[in-house]
Amino acid sequence: MSIANRNGTSEHHHDHSNIHESKTRIVVIITTLTMVVEIFFGYWTNSMALLADGFHMSSHAFALGLSWLAYVLARKYAKTETFSFKKEKLLALSGFTSAIVLQIVAITMAIQSVERLLNPLEIKFGEAIFVAFIGLIVNVVSAIALHHDKEHSDHNIRSAYLHVLADGLTSVTAIIALTAGMFYNLYSLDAISGILSSLIITRWAVELIVSSGKELIEFKRCPA
């Protein structure tokens, strides 16, 4: 490959990294603001459902912030000759760490959902459904912002995208479960939706852990 082609490819990847950084920063701001609103209204209405959703979103705000920080550091140190590192490794490390956080969220959701299933509490359906709709709208906007072509993807932007999808999934299942629970007075549906969501999120997290982990240790099939 010629120097011109290598430079062109490098600049091409650099442009996409800058785009991913900008998109991730916007989503971090939106997610953080939504988190604050959910926690505030949770305390204001004395709704544990809203508080749980707000603190759940705080874990995603942290993971998304980590993804954004990885792009900032990659861009900053790519312009200096003092340090040398592979940007792809940094992005893979961020994706791996973010996937671990995603898995912790899934496990926490599963434990809390089982506890709620065994010990159901009265739910303020109206407030919970309203905030779930707000969360769903935010996640749809964030998913559109973070959507990327597969060939221009890296583990970092993929982890951010999966966190948004995980939040969107919990919002959809919560809306369905809360609406059905409100009509049929079944508090257990909310807990069951949490368990199902945690299982799906676990699958996403494990796939990302494996793919980003292979990138970190440069795991490749040896030629026969």
Distance CA(89)–CA(212), nearest Å, equals 9
Per-residue tokens: 42: 């949770």
Residue 49's pLDDT is: 57
Burial of 217 (0-12, 13-18, 19+ CB in 10 A): exposed
- Tell me whether residue 71 is in a domain: yes
| 189-202: burial string, b at 16+ Cβ within 10 Å, e else | bbbbbbbebbeebb
The CATH number given to whatever domain includes residue 88 is: 1.20.1510.10
- In a domain, residue 87? The reply is yes
> Amino acid identity of 202?
T
Q: Is residue 223 part of a domain?
A: no
For the chain, how many structural domains are there in total? 1
pLDDT digits over 16-33, tens only? 667 778 878 888 888 888
Query: Residue 51: its pLDDT value, please?
Result: 63
Stretches in the chain below the pLDDT threshold 50: 1-13
Q: What is the pLDDT of residue 3?
A: 39
Position 209 in a domain: yes
- The answer as to whether 208 is a domain residue is yes
Tens of pLDDT along 32-78?
Answer: 888 888 778 777 766 655 666 676 677 678 777 877 887 888 777 76
The predicted model scores a pTM of 0.67
Q: What domain range is 201 assigned to?
A: 3-217
Q: Determine, yes or no, domain membership for 201.
A: yes
Instruction: Evaluate whether residue 222 is within a structural domain.
Output: no
Question: What pLDDT, on a 0 to 100 scale, did the predictor assign at position 148?
Answer: 65
The reply to whether 224 falls in a domain is no
